[in-house]
Structure 1
Amino acid sequence: MAVRDDLLAAVERSPRAAGAHDRAAWVGLFTGDARVEDPVGSRPHVGREEIARFYDTFIGPRDITFHRDLDIVSDSVVLRDLELEVAMGPAVTMFIPAFLRYDLREVNGEWQIAVLRAYWELPAMMAQFLRTGSRALAPALQLSRGLLGNQGLGGTAGFMTGFRRAGTRHKTLVESFLRAAARGDKFAAYRALAPTATTTLGDSHVLDAAELVERLHGASSVKVNGAGPTVTVSVASDHGRAIMFADVAWRGKQINRIQYFPG
């Protein structure tokens, strides 16, 4: 329990530093070789120098509030199911359904973030942004200046790769797998899996597909999103809450890997 509390406390320093607009404190939460993927599917920011530029582009100019639904700790990983409230300017506030994954590493007796992955849908966020109409003009100009000024053309292009993500077809596939597992239809569930698909409890504990189906008995999805090649599902089942990551094939209709993190 002490380690769990320590990990959660380490993660909680991130929204606290962001809310205080404390650049040095936020960047200092990361290991020297840390990686930030935000959103997953975009080009990662590696090392504190790039992470500092990420802060200057996306965090520093905005007020971000974390509305948490669920925290899960697995080994040295903390998963957070939440909604991000992002004030882009005085007249534009975005509400972004997201999942955050923090991989932590102990450095000199202190837990630091080695990898931060943010699973949220860039196209959906942009659509929400544009629906604000003329109010989006000033925040859009500010974001564009920040992207080009801090990230350059290459970094801006790297951010835009986040538009390619698991879409409606992939989410339908994963939700069909979940519904089949929920009603105990193993054969229908198995059909959604690639022949070489792996299923694990957490990151690495091998979980037989039949056991996963059992764990998903009576399950329903609370939230689903697609980022990069991953469909992420917040699950409620007879066994309680969980978060499930399903890596999908870009082409075809198959799930290549499932990682299941129970609460």
Structure 2
Amino acid sequence: MAISRADALVAVERSPAASGARDRDRWIDAFTFDAHVEDPVGSRPHRGHTAIARFYDTFIGPRDIAFDRDVDIVVGSTVIRDLNLRVRMGSGVTMRIPAYLRYDVADDLGELKIAALYAFWELPAMVAQFLGSGPRAVAPGLQLSKGLLLNQGLIGALGFLSGFRGPGHQGKRRFGEFLSDARAGDEVALRRRLGKGARITFGDDVAMGGTELLSRLAGARQRKLIAAGHHLVVGIERDGHRDVLMAEVSTRPFAVNRIRYFSDAGEVVRPPFEHDRDG
């Protein structure tokens, strides 16, 4: 059954609403029983209510989190939220974290709930900002470390630290060049940076060709770029619309291997170009 934009947003909104109310049970109940939470992307995922509850106890419950939302994009059962997070870690220490959140929603016994949450934000940048608070960061840092070990165990704590993995500044630079070529309408340069067999889709499933992607990026304005895990996520502004492009990349050598393009402005409706042959 098709999911309306309004229903998808209502399902998604249950999570930040429960977080703001410090309602642990309501926050957990916003997710399906077998839900997947990866926050930040690149860190060890949390699967199922038991693991999600430990995630709440470690990262959400002890802190005040505000969601400064910019735009929501809904494609089928997926909501992409462009926002900034304000996380109050302790007295005098408030983190401001640029992010994109991806929510996948699904029917759960007749009720729409969150089946997966992927939080794209940069752990290295957050840690640098946190340490920049100086002595004020000591107490909240110790509290976070204690919570990690108590709720996640050593393996879980190491799994969180794996969120430091990513393409880094070099990968972001190369991806910025890829976007610049696309925005300039340079199809040859765009295809040269695509990995062999690279797949391009509107959302998760609707095939797009390189030419179709180029038509959406040419002349567009690039907004914030986030690197998380093996992903690079960027906002695209064109013709008064706000879109989001998610790319999966490899770094040695750098190549764009997978692109998902999310837009409220309409799907691809014509037959797809055979971009896979072009590599």
**Equivalent AA in structure 2 for residue 218 of structure 1:** G
2:227 corresponds to 1:226 = yes
Secondary structure of the corresponding residue to residue 232 of structure 2:
strand
CA distance in 2, matches of 1:23, 1:195: 45
2:205 corresponds to 1:204 = yes
CA distance in 2, matches of 1:173, 1:2: 37
Contact 1:179 1:220 (C-alpha < 8 Å) held by counterparts: no
Hey, what does 2:116 align to over in structure 1?
Answer: 115
Say how many residue pairs are matched.
Answer: 263
Hey, what does 1:162 align to over in structure 2?
Answer: 163
CA distance in 1, matches of 2:71, 2:168: 24
Shift of 1:2: 7.5
Hey, what does 1:35 align to over in structure 2?
Answer: 36
Secondary structure of the corresponding residue to residue 144 of structure 1:
helix
Per-residue displacement from partner, 1:123-156 (whole Å, max 9, x unpaired)?
0000000000000000001001100010010100
Hey, what does 1:105 align to over in structure 2?
Answer: 106
Q: What is the Cα-based RMSD across aligned positions, in Å?
A: 1.2
CA distance in 1, matches of 2:109, 2:103: 19
CA distance in 1, matches of 2:90, 2:35: 29
Shift of 1:70: 1.1
Contact 1:81 1:99 (C-alpha < 8 Å) held by counterparts: yes
CA distance in 1, matches of 2:3, 2:126: 37
Shift of 1:239: 6.5
Contact 1:201 1:207 (C-alpha < 8 Å) held by counterparts: yes
Contact 1:174 1:246 (C-alpha < 8 Å) held by counterparts: no
TM norm structure 2: 0.92
Hey, what does 2:79 align to over in structure 1?
Answer: 78
CA distance in 2, matches of 1:29, 1:182: 39
Q: 1:46 to 1:2 in 2, by over 3 A?
A: closer
**Equivalent AA in structure 2 for residue 161 of structure 1:** S
Hey, what does 2:259 align to over in structure 1?
Answer: 258
Shift of 1:188: 1.2
Q: What percentage of aligned pairs have identical amino acids?
A: 54
**Equivalent AA in structure 2 for residue 59 of structure 1:** I
CA distance in 2, matches of 1:251, 1:70: 34
CA distance in 1, matches of 2:248, 2:183: 19
TM norm structure 1: 0.97
Per-residue displacement from partner, 1:30-67 (whole Å, max 9, x unpaired)?
11111100000000011100000000000000000000
Hey, what does 1:96 align to over in structure 2?
Answer: 97
Secondary structure of the corresponding residue to residue 39 of structure 1:
coil
- For structure 1, the residue ranges without an aligned partner over 5 or more in a row are none
Residues 100-249 of structure 1 aligned to structure 2 (within 5 Å): 100-238=101-239, 240-249=241-250
Contact 2:171 2:254 (C-alpha < 8 Å) held by counterparts: yes
Shift of 1:173: 2.0
